[in-house]
Chain A
Amino acid sequence: MRSSRSFYRLKVFFVLPALLLYGIFTLYPFLSSLLYSFTNWDGLQSPDYVGLANYQALFHDKAIVQAAKNTLYVLAVMVLIGNPLSLILALLLNLPLRSRGLLRTLFFLPALMSLMVISISWGFILQYDGLLNAILTLFGFENGIQDWLGTMDYALPAVILILLWQGTGFGAVIYLAGLQSVPRELQESAQIDGATGLQRIYHITIPLIMPFITINTFLGIAGSLKLFDVPFVLTNGGPGTATTTLGLLIYKYAFVHESYGYATAAGMLFMVLIAVVTFLQLSITRRREVEM
């Protein structure tokens, strides 16, 4: 008895440092944010309690609707196009090619770069006097020249393309790990039974790598919902609100509009939204995972 109790104490003792850090840097800020979200705090003066006013105002906020549209657009593309793209890339990189190692490295490289660096570099490529327009001019497509980040129609697609370029390789590496866990004898016996390549992918590979699909979908959804840095650096959410995401809007509410209480309330709702969406996604994809 005594030994088990002291063992319990020992366990608590080992957990304590992590718990302390979590409490100071996550739990405490979270709870104080919750309190601030019911105030009119402006970052300068002491806050006054305003009840649910911030939350009520949020539901009548047109800017949030526009930002939510942009964010969901990014999410849809990343999950419905980006994710399958990663899987296809992984399947290709899993083929017995001679340059496989080199290709894997090349495709994974963008994931190692900081989003800041990526954003600034792509900014130089896409700006009006940038590389892309120079190439278009070189090949005689002067009429196709655009200020890619300065037009309402192209700014958001440009941001999404950058995200795809950066994220596809990363997703592919996760899928590659999954593909290598699929037992070869299963594939071989299916082959002997006369299954074609595509049939094998659909009936054997996909069910077996479902956990990896779950992870990649989760990362894609969470990443798209939280998207902030690329539009912040590239376009500052513009032109107009064409590339303003929910994360960027909340940042603006706090640091530009100096409405910290309101921004905190928006952040709280945002957190709930992310939790709900990712929970739904996890419960759906989890159900499709199979046991070996």
Chain B
Amino acid sequence: MKKLQLTTLFLATTLVASACGNSNGNNETAGSSASSTASAATTPASSSAAATGASGSEPFTLKVSYWADNKNGYYEEVAKRFKEKYPNGTVEFNQHPGDKYNELMNTRLAAGEADDVLFNMNMTAYAKAGYLMDLSGQPWIERMNDSAKTAAQFEGKTYGAFLEVNTFGVFYNKKIFGEQQLVPPTTWDEFIALNEKLKTQKITPIVEGFKDIWTLQAAYIPIAISTYFGSNPNFERDVYDGKASVNGPEVTGALAQFAELADKGYFNKNSLSIGNDQALQDFIDGKAAMHMMGSWTPGVIDGKTQNFPLGFFIIPAKDGNTVMSAGTDKGLSINAATKHPEEAIALVQLMLEPDMLELYGKDNALSAFNDVNPVFANPAMSEIQTALQAHPGHRNPGDYFPPSVQDALNTALTKILAGGGVGDTAAELAKLYEKDKSKVNF
């Protein structure tokens, strides 16, 4: 079941993500300062006094699609509170597997059969196609952090919220590191050296479950985030504008560093034949010293074991310009075709109330809302937050690449892992980029 929660990576990676901008503040899009007055004209019916909920009105049901693991009873609590407010209303939460979530949503939206409220992975693509309600001017927008605000925008209008911020890095077993007298690396060479030392000690350095395709990005992002954006925070925008190329040092560098880890045998030998659940279990069982994964990992580990000596570090860039990934995750929008727009707006507002989000995030995820500070029992979570404060952050590499490029990249990574080498991967990705450029939404 954890797989569902872990598929968040999908959002971060395999999709053409959304509106422009990055958390470095190098934002060039119009509407980045989306003042609510500018969009007031297009603001949908306000959610202030939803008279529909008054007693005596027709019973109604709001359906919500989501893919995340249901932790902490968040969804039940939402349904309960909504019922208190709207005795005639029922909220129905429908969970779908994360790895097929997009296909399902795309098909349902196209067929006009999507639920009223949609957790989704490609907000801007849906907004562009006219499937989402314009939520500009909603009171909760101002509470989101900048990267979530910009990610939720398309052509200056806001189409939803993001519940989480995710980052990727290396989780390590402090006990093994202590026994081998290893410390978190400050340079790429130190990282290679510690892998080498572990390998000579017959300890598997890094365990991953690459049979689940999305996990490839968990190992790629912590490297690529620095090679893509370390020296040029606008790399993906520049590719779009023709000022940089996918077949340049940013992508080839990331591929080469990934290949170095693979070719030197630092990943578990069975990495292509196990899934993420087993990889995480092997890590918990001490069969490997490190596990490259997303920031939800401490919460997952806490659900499986007690007092695991978990630490976190990020992979240092080769040239010293280390960047940390800070992707938005768990987009929440309203279907433009909903028959109950007022009620849906009220429901989303309820879902985004600070105490509801605290419940959602508890031991689970970093919040994309400035006024929400979930409690984390696992100390590794504070290591993640410390690292986030200490390094420049950037949205995930590949957020502005077409889905075909991300898929071809994953395919290339499996080839590298199988000993097939890098070849002319970057050149092929560049060709695909040109072919499907229309699917990139800035």
Contact = CB atoms under 8 A, between A and B. Distances in A.
A239 B414 CA distance: 5
A288 to B, nearest CB: 43
A149 B273 CA distance: 7
B213 interface: yes
B415 A239 contact: yes
Contact of B419 (A149, A151, A252): A151
B131 interface: yes
Given A237-B411, A238-B411, A259-B404, A129 B418 contact: no
B418 A150 contact: yes
Contact of B411 (A62, A126, A241, A258): A241
B411 A150 contact: no
Contacts of B128: 44-45
Contacts of B415: 152, 238-242
A42 B439 CA distance: 8
Interface stretch (B34-42, B102-110, B169-177, B306-314): B102-110
Contact of B270 (A43, A45, A147, A256): A147
Contact of A127 (B109, B273, B428, B435): B273
B274 A127 contact: yes
A235 to B, nearest CB: 9
B30 interface: no
Contact of A62 (B274, B420, B428): B428
B269 A147 contact: yes
A272 B439 CA distance: 29
A40 B419 contact: no
A152 B126 contact: no
A45 B16 CA distance: 15
Interface string A25-44: 00000000000000010111
Nearest to A61: B435
Interface residues of B, number: 36
A128 interface: yes
A257 B273 contact: no
Interface string A133-172: 0000000000000010111100100000000000000000
Given A43-B106, A147-B272, A150-B272, A257 B404 contact: yes
A236 interface: yes
A242 B415 CA distance: 8
A58 to B, nearest CB: 11
A125 to B, nearest CB: 11
A44 B109 contact: yes
A57 interface: yes
A151 to B, nearest CB: 5
B145 to A, nearest CB: 28
A255 interface: yes
A44 B129 contact: yes
Nearest to B216: A238
B436 A259 contact: yes
B405 to A, nearest CB: 9
B407 A127 contact: no
B403 A149 contact: no
Contacts of A152: 415, 418-420
A252 B407 contact: yes
A183 interface: no
A133 B386 CA distance: 44
B333 to A, nearest CB: 14
Listed from nearest, the 3 A-B pairs whose CB atoms lie closest are A240-B415, A150-B272, A239-B418
Interface of B: 14, 103, 106-107, 109-110, 125-126, 128-131, 213, 269-274, 402-404, 407, 411-412, 414-415, 417-420, 428, 435-436, 438-439
24 contacts: A42-B439, A43-B110, A44-B131, A57-B435, A128-B269, A128-B270, A129-B270, A147-B273, A150-B270, A150-B272, A150-B417, A150-B418, A152-B415, A152-B420, A238-B272, A239-B414, A239-B417, A239-B420, A240-B412, A241-B415, A242-B415, A255-B103, A257-B404, A258-B403
